[in-house]
Structures are given as C-alpha cells and as structure tokens.
Structure 1
Amino acid sequence: MIDLGELLIDTMTLYQFTNNWFDVLAKGVWDQLMTHYSPARILEIGSYEGASACYLIDTLAPRHPIELHCIDSWEGGIEHQAGGVAPADMHTVESRFHHNVALAAGKHAGRAQLVVHKGYSDDCLARLLADGKKGYFDFVYVDGSHQAADVLADAVLGFKLLKVGGIIAFDDYLWAEQLPSGKDPLRCPKPAIDAFVNLNFRKLEVLSAPLYQLYVRKLSD
C-alpha cells in the first residue's frame, strides 16, 4: 500500500518541469561550458519553470558561491497565449519556478544567492545598469521574448552588464513560429541576434556551439 503522506513528501522534493527543452537543447554544451568558465555572477533573462536556473545552482554552487539574477514577467510571449504555438498557464508556470528554485537553493544552503526580478526585461536590465551593475556578470543567458525587437534590446543591455571575458548565450537561435502565413522575421530571435553580432563584431568572439543556441565571448566594451 502506498502511504499518501510519504508520496506527498516525495513529490515536494522533486523538481516540477513539464518539458525537457533545456536538457535536449542546452545541457550537453553547458556541461562543458560551466566546467571551463565556472561563472559566479549570472544573469538569466527568461526563466519560465526554472530548469536552467536549477541546473546552474546544482552545477556551480557545490564548487563556489554564486549570485543568480532571474528576470521574467511570467506573462508569456505571443506563442504562450491562447491560439499560440505553445499555450501555457503562466500563473502555474511561475508557481513551478518558485518551487523549483527554492528546492535547488535549499540543497546548497548559503551558497546560492538568488535574486528574482519580476517584470519586463528592458525595465529590469535598465535598473541593473542604473544600480551600477555594468560589467558585473560573468555569464548572461538570453531566453526571454522571441520577438526580434525584444531580443535585440536584451542583447544590447545584457552585453553592457557582462564583464569583459564573460559569455553571453542566446537560446532559440533558429526558433520560429509556424504561422499560417509562414515565418515572420519579426517574430523570431535570429535576425536580432545576427544584427547584434554583426554590429559588435570587433567586441566579441562567436564560440563554436550547436546552431539552436549561439554563444559569444565579450572581448571589450
């Protein structure tokens, strides 16, 4: 017979993820990236259920204390709305995020300082710059809005917050909505990421990585 009390406790000790996007698309590269660079100050733009945040805490906190800033509005993008390509109940997504990161941080008590910024990324990033965080972060992960204009803003502001020698990673480089009218270049990240890289080619180095993500090392301000 299953003890319902034990089942509840066991459920509460497990991460609550509804997809394996991070494991499939990023984890293999990040296993090598984090071993080599081992960042201590990390900025994540777009957290969803917290899969990447939990990975960062579980991977890095045993090595050294980390400071992890997570930015998300938990309103979802166009693709998460009713009728979109990936509809989601964002209130539930946000609840899962808090459950997951609390569980991760609890496993490494005192070694993971987590700062959650709930709001639109441009506002939150501008506030971090105003608070003196220019060149502060070792690693910036851009995985927020997929709208080209938003991705470009995240890239520009995130790059200013990144220290020289740090890494900025772009998720969903080749992602695009399958719309009835075809692909819309304004509703996918690639044109914005390409524009950012091309405009800053003297200040960065593109690292070798699978094309679904793009990794860039900052060479200068």
Structure 2
Amino acid sequence: MANSGDLSIDSMTLYQFTNNWFDTVAKGLWDQFMARYAPARILEIGSYEGASACYLIDTLAPHHPVELHCIDSWEGGLEHQAEGVSPADMAAVESRFHHNVTQSAGQHAGRAKVVVHKGYSDECLARLIAEGKKGYFDFVYVDGSHQAADVLADAVLGFKLLKVGGVIAFDDYLWSEQLPTGKDPLRCPKPAIDAFVNLNCRKLDVLSAPLYQLYVRKLAD
C-alpha cells in the first residue's frame, strides 16, 4: 500500500487515490454500462478509497439524482493482512474515502445522497433487507472480501436487494491470491460467483463483458 507521500491528487477535484485499479479494470466498460442502464439507486459492497463511488456520482448525478449506499469495514482482507497492511493504514484509506466522496457529492449539491454503512457486509446487507429494501437498487457492485464464502453471501444478499431488470457486477472474477502452496479455491471469488450464477441461471442473464469482471442482469426474484 502506498503511504501518504505517494498520493495522487487531482488538482481539479482534490481526490486522493493511491492506485488506479478502477480506471484500469472497470472505467472503460462502466462508461458504456452507465450510459445504457443509468442507475439511480446503487449499492456498493467494498468501497476502499472511493474511486468507484466518485465515478458513479460524477458520471450519473449531472443527469439525475443518485442515491449511493457504500458498505465497507475498512479493516482490509486476509490478503492485506498477509501483506503487512496495518490498522493505521486502513484508517488512512477510510479517511481518504470520506474525503473523496465528500468532494464528489459536494460538486453535485442536492443530487447525490451517499449513505455509508461501516461494518461487515453480511450484517449490513441483512439490515437493508430487514429495512424493506428488497428490490430497491438498480445496480449492485460486489467488490468486498475475496474469500469465496463471503463473496457468495454478498451475491445472494445483494441479489435480493437488486430490482428485476437491474445489474449486479462482480469485481475480481479471475483474481486469485498467490500463496506458497498455490491457489486456494476458498480464497478467491470465482468459485462463489460461478456457484451463484449456476444456482440462479433461470433468474439472470450473464452480460457480455471482459471476464476480469462479471456482470449479470436480474430477470426474476
């Protein structure tokens, strides 16, 4: 993880990002998806520094009001712990998230409602369901834990919160952790995403897209 001296700060927006993961992997395709689907109610599982959240606000809010729910524990995953990322590092990530999202929403006053849910995704998602938000969201982005069991829980609960006709996007479909013993199928997203898609094959369509991310459209509850 980069330290504070490695921050890339856009002089126009004053966003603070320490990597370009989102721009490299998702932005080009999202430009097409957002133009086509124009989601207004969005659920993001895994927010990190807020790059995708800021993109969604900056891209959509000029055209229509946006309600964005962001879920993250800001504790980091097992892979972060293995890399020696400390709680202080993650606290800095959380601070940059709030700075960046505040900057983005502030540029679109009254058109971007951001709701932050700090905690573990399964608990936060279950709470949203209990609050009556089944079928509430137009777009769900799953980019939280990379552990297969966690990804499966995010997929199942996120799908309940997605409206019929909405899109759910899974980041890191082909990501795997490089372990001394090789790949562990329980420590990567793909087996969980595949299981979810196969078990719900009559309720969704897999959309055509480069496979580092996988996109499905909900056809039925």
TM, length-normalised to structure 1 = 0.93
Large movers: runs of 4+ above 3 Å: 10-13
Unpaired runs of 5+ residues, structure 1, are 1-9
Q: Which residue of 1 aligns with 2:198?
A: 198
Structure 2 spans left out of the alignment, 5+ residues: 1-9
CA distance in 2: counterparts of 1:11 and 1:30, whole angstroms:
24
| Distance in 1 (alpha carbons) for counterparts of 2:33 and 2:189 | 22
1:87 alignment partner in structure 2:
85
Structure 1 pair 12–60 and aligned structure 2 pair: CA distance change class (3 A):
closer
- 1:87 Cα deviation after fit: 3.4
Could you tell me how far apart the structure 1 residues matched to 2:29 and 2:40 are? 18
Whole-angstrom CA distance in 1 between matches of 2:85 and 2:208:
32
Helix, strand or coil: the match of 1:126? Answer: helix
Count, aligned residues: 211
Residue 87 of structure 1 aligns to which amino acid in structure 2?
A: V
Distance in 1 between residues matched to 2:194 and 2:163, nearest whole Å: 21
Partner in structure 1 of residue 97 of structure 2: 97
In our comparison, the structure showing a higher alpha carbon Rg is 1
Does 1:213 pair with 2:205?
A: no
Q: Percent identity?
A: 84
The secondary structure found in structure 2 opposite 1:139 is strand
Structure 1 position 14, deviation (Å): 1.1
Which secondary structure state, in structure 2, belongs to the residue aligned with residue 150 of structure 1?
helix
Please give the alpha-carbon distance, in whole angstroms, between the structure 2 residues aligned to 1:206 and 1:100.
32
Deviation at 1:134, TM superposition (A): 0.2
SS at the partner of 1:202? coil
Give how far 1:80 is off. Answer: 1.1
Deviation at 1:61, TM superposition (A): 0.2
3-state secondary structure, aligned to 2:101: helix
The two structures, once aligned, show a CA RMSD in angstroms of: 1.5
Provide the TM-score with structure 2 as the length reference: 0.93
Query: Within 1, Cα distance between the matches of 2:13 and 2:154?
Result: 34
Superposition pairs for residues 57-96 of structure 1, below 5 Å? 57-81=57-81, 83-84=82-83, 87=85, 89-96=89-96
Q: Partners of 2:48 and 2:178 in 1: how far apart?
A: 21
Verify: 1:187 aligned to 2:166, yes or no: no
